DNA sequence: ACGCAGCATTGATGCCGGCTATGGACCGGA
DNA sequence: TCCGGTCCATAGCCGGCATCAATGCTGCGT
């Protein structure tokens, strides 16, 4: 459950005080005239008189001195009116702030947006997104986090982040997942390895030993193991803490691995030490989806973001010259013909 | 008429914002739970839900994200809640201030009190009152002014002062006058003057020439002229700007004058240069009254002040050894047997 | 003495916030 | 998969209170 902060808490005895009453009081104090004050407040004079009288009774303080010569503030009234002005001023700032925020909402994307991504995607996805996002939505303020899937889901549900880039399948209870693009996997191996071992690049022809994995908790680790149809027991102890580390290990001849296409920089500083080869089947890879709370306000905000990411992704050239497959658009799907897999896909809307 | 200040004026569009709504919002933000928040606010959960929803609609901003996992603040909600806390805090200060002032009213006399007095009385009355007043009402904050009767009445009616010590008759429209004491007049003359001129000290035996008066506007001037039954034409040009100046002029042998008893200090530094002689009739003098607006709140405040002044005055010994006559008390009235004269005496409510 | 200006009072009216009861979505356990 | 519990939303009704138009009252000026 969410933490219950026990804050100072107001004494709860605002005694039915109303901002309208304070407006009336200030109006009379300004104009020294009940009738004029009522006019300014757009109410009838009796209404204003009654409200001020009731307020005076509640406060047990006479604010105004009524006489035929005019309306005078009592000394107490003077001090209270000064404080009333402060209250109204702060209330006005509240309204102004709300109006500003509401107007900001008129933009499709504006204000702070806390985005998360899995670590095997974020460092390679965000740099490609920042420029187009800033160009399309200048008033958007991104706060980025990179944690593994489980933490991502927890932070998402706890409201610590607003949306997350991740790879299904995930437990999507209470979430909406919008597929964005299909990211193919590549086989990374040392060019010095026996060419025969990787000659055909089918999943069945992978060597029995030498697979290097990421740490526990990375979805990419699980997906790689699933592809290889083997338990991690065979190469226990061979793991890296990040994709970059993993690529360096492969380049150093420590073994081979399976990498998502976006993690390969262009140009690649490891080009001479590392060969990344596509698989012969187009469905080897992972779907990337954007996830947000189903209860989130302004869901179109995330759909807008998703659409922009899809548009961008359609233009990215991979290291092997091919392009990413779009999730829903009409373009040619070069990868991921069957759509994002996994259970837990949430109904949308 | 009273001046109509045209102040900045709030934009008048607080849009029906209510402090209660802000309390609800803050409660939900604190507790992350509509039911608990409703309990804290002492209302039913539906009431609170509806009000918050209506507020969100008015602001066109979703403050909270409702989900089965709990209640989350949206980023916009976070900022607005912060401002709502400020508004409520200032409103609470308003309430606290009002309570403090109301409690202060429990004292018979407390807080700021703006008192005025005619210049022929104030400099001699206030010094005698300050100590007893501070002793009886420690929380009383006096602000003292000394101006002539007409200005006094204007300031009183305009609300620039709360009460005034003056001498009737005055135009008491809209005012309450409470008689305090009768202050006898003394004849001030140089000891070197012919003794025969002041032998009997009846009003009829005053010398024809040599009367020194205060400037125009001092009620004492008019009263002195009335006593002497003569026009100021006789001694035109012989006038002083203050009683002290006047006494020095008499001491210098410039002429003679009529002084109120309280203005003679004890001991008198001019004792050897100046003789102050009582009149043979006890009703030669002036009444001193306290005046306040009939519309003034807490009239008992001024009656309390008046009673204290009367008590004090009963104990003052004049330079000639006699005492001031009390206005209403049961004591022996040595002066002013017929009570304060003049029209305009107000009914007391 | 009359008229006027200005705040207070009155009684009718309608909005609005409150409550109880119920609905519906979601979650967790069997 | 069903069931019960939790929690927020909805529905319907009710009562109070703010509002208004009309009138009263008081004090001042002429």
Distance in Å from C3's C1' to A43's CA comes to 27
In the numeric block, the tokens 């990787």 are attached to A198
Cβ-Cβ contacts under 8 Å, A99 against chain B: 59
HSE at residue A56, side-chain half, CA atoms within 13 A, is: 19
- Option in B86, B102, B114 nearest A60 (CB): B102
- What residue ranges do the domains of chain A occupy? 19-106, 112-200+261-349
DSSP A318: P
Chain A: closest CA distance from residue B151 (Å) = 16
Q: Is the CB of A294 under 7 A from strand C?
A: yes
**How confident is the prediction along chain A (349 residues), in pLDDT tens digits per residue?**
333 333 333 334 677 889 989 989 998 898 888 888 888 888 888 889 989 998 888 888 888 988 877 788 888 888 999 999 999 989 988 998 888 888 777 777 778 889 999 999 989 999 999 999 998 888 888 999 999 998 898 888 888 888 999 998 888 888 888 999 999 888 888 776 554 455 555 665 666 667 888 888 888 888 888 877 665 555 555 778 888 888 888 888 888 888 999 988 877 787 778 888 887 777 888 999 999 888 887 788 888 899 999 988 888 867 665 666 555 443 334 444 445 544 433 333 2
Q: Which residue has the higher pLDDT, A237 or B67?
A: B67
Contact state of B89 with A10 under an 8 Å Cβ cutoff: yes
Contact state of B94 with A17 under an 8 Å Cβ cutoff: yes
pLDDT value, residue B163: 93
Reported as a single tens digit per residue, the pLDDT across A119-154 is 999 899 999 999 999 988 888 889 999 999 988 988
Res B330 pLDDT > 50:
no
Residues of B 15-44 whose CB lies less than 7 Å from any atom of strand C: 16, 18, 20, 42-44
Q: Is the CB of B40 under 7 A from strand D?
A: no
Q: Is the CB of B17 under 7 A from strand D?
A: no
Chain B: closest CA distance from residue A133 (Å) = 19
pLDDT value, residue B340: 55
Q: Is the CB of A14 under 7 A from strand C?
A: no
Indicate which of A95, A102, A114, A301 best probes the interface with B, i.e. most B CBs within 10 Å of its own CB.
Answer: A95
pLDDT value, residue B198: 56
CATH superfamily, domain A112-200+261-349, is: Periplasmic binding protein-like II (3.40.190.10)
Chain B: closest CA distance from residue A321 (Å) = 41
The two tokens of residue A42 are 């757009």
Contact state of A98 with B61 under an 8 Å Cβ cutoff: yes
Strand C, nucleotides covered by protein (CB < 7 Å): 5-11, 17-21, 25-28
Cβ-Cβ contacts under 8 Å, B2 against chain A: 32, 69-72
pLDDT value, residue A44: 86
Reported as a single tens digit per residue, the pLDDT across B242-297 is 898 988 888 888 888 899 999 988 788 888 888 888 887 888 899 999 999 888 87
Distance in Å from C8's C1' to A51's CA comes to 12
- Option in A14, A70, A93 nearest B83 (CB): A93
Give the contacts of B147 (CB within 8 A, at least 6 positions apart): B116, B118, B119, B155
Cβ-Cβ contacts under 8 Å, A293 against chain B: 65, 67, 72
Cβ-Cβ contacts under 8 Å, B60 against chain A: 98, 102, 105
Contact state of A59 with B98 under an 8 Å Cβ cutoff: yes
DSSP B211: B
Share of chain B above pLDDT 70, in %: 80
DSSP A237: T
> What are the Cα distances from residue B326, in Å, to B126, B127, B178, B290, B300?
18, 19, 12, 14, 19
Determine how many CB atoms are found less than 10 A away from the CB of residue A205. 13
What's the CATH fold of domain A19-106?
Arc Repressor Mutant, subunit A (1.10.10)
Res B206 pLDDT > 90:
no
CATH architecture of B107-349: 3-Layer(aba) Sandwich (3.40)
Residues of B 193-212 whose CB lies less than 7 Å from any atom of strand C: none
């Amino acid at each position: 459950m969410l933490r219950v902060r026990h804050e100072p808490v107001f004494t709860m005895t605002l005694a039915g005080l109303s901002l309208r009453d304070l407006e009336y009081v200030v109006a009379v104090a300004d104009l020294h005239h009940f009738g004029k004050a009522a006019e300014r407040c757009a109410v009838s004079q009796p209404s204003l008189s009654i409200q001020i009288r009731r307020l005076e009774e509640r406060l047990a303080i006479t604010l105004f001195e009524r006489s035929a010569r005019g309306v005078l503030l009592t000394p107490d009234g003077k001090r209270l009116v000064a404080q009333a002005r402060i209250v109204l001023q702060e209330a006005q700032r509240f309204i102004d702030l709300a109006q500003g925020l509401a107007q900001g909402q008129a933009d499709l994307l504006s204000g702070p947006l806390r985005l998360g991504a899995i670590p095997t995607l974020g460092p390679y996805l965000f740099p490609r997104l920042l420029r187009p996002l800033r160009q399309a939505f200048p008033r958007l303020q991104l706060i980025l986090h990179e944690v593994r899937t489980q933490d991502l889901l927890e932070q998402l549900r706890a409201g610590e982040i607003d949306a997350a880039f991740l790879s299904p399948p995930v437990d999507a209870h209470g979430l909406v997942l919008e597929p964005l693009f299909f990211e193919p996997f590549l086989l990374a191996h040392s060019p010095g390895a026996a060419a025969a071992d990787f000659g055909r690049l089918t999943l069945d022809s992978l060597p029995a030993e030498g697979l290097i994995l990421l740490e526990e908790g990375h979805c990419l680790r699980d997906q790689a193991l699933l592809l290889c149809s083997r338990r991690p027991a065979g190469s226990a102890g061979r793991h890296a803490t990040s994709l970059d580390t993993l690529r360096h290990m492969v380049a150093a001849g420590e073994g081979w691995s399976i990498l998502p296409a976006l993690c390969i920089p262009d140009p690649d500083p490891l080009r001479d030490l590392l060969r990344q080869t596509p698989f012969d089947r187009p469905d080897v890879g992972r779907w990337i989806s954007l996830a947000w709370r189903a209860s989130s306000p302004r869901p179109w905000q995330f759909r807008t973001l998703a659409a922009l990411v899809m548009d961008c992704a359609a233009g990215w050239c991979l290291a092997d010259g091919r392009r990413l497959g779009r999730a829903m658009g009409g373009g040619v799907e070069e990868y991921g013909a069957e759509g994002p897999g996994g259970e837990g896909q949430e109904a949308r809307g």
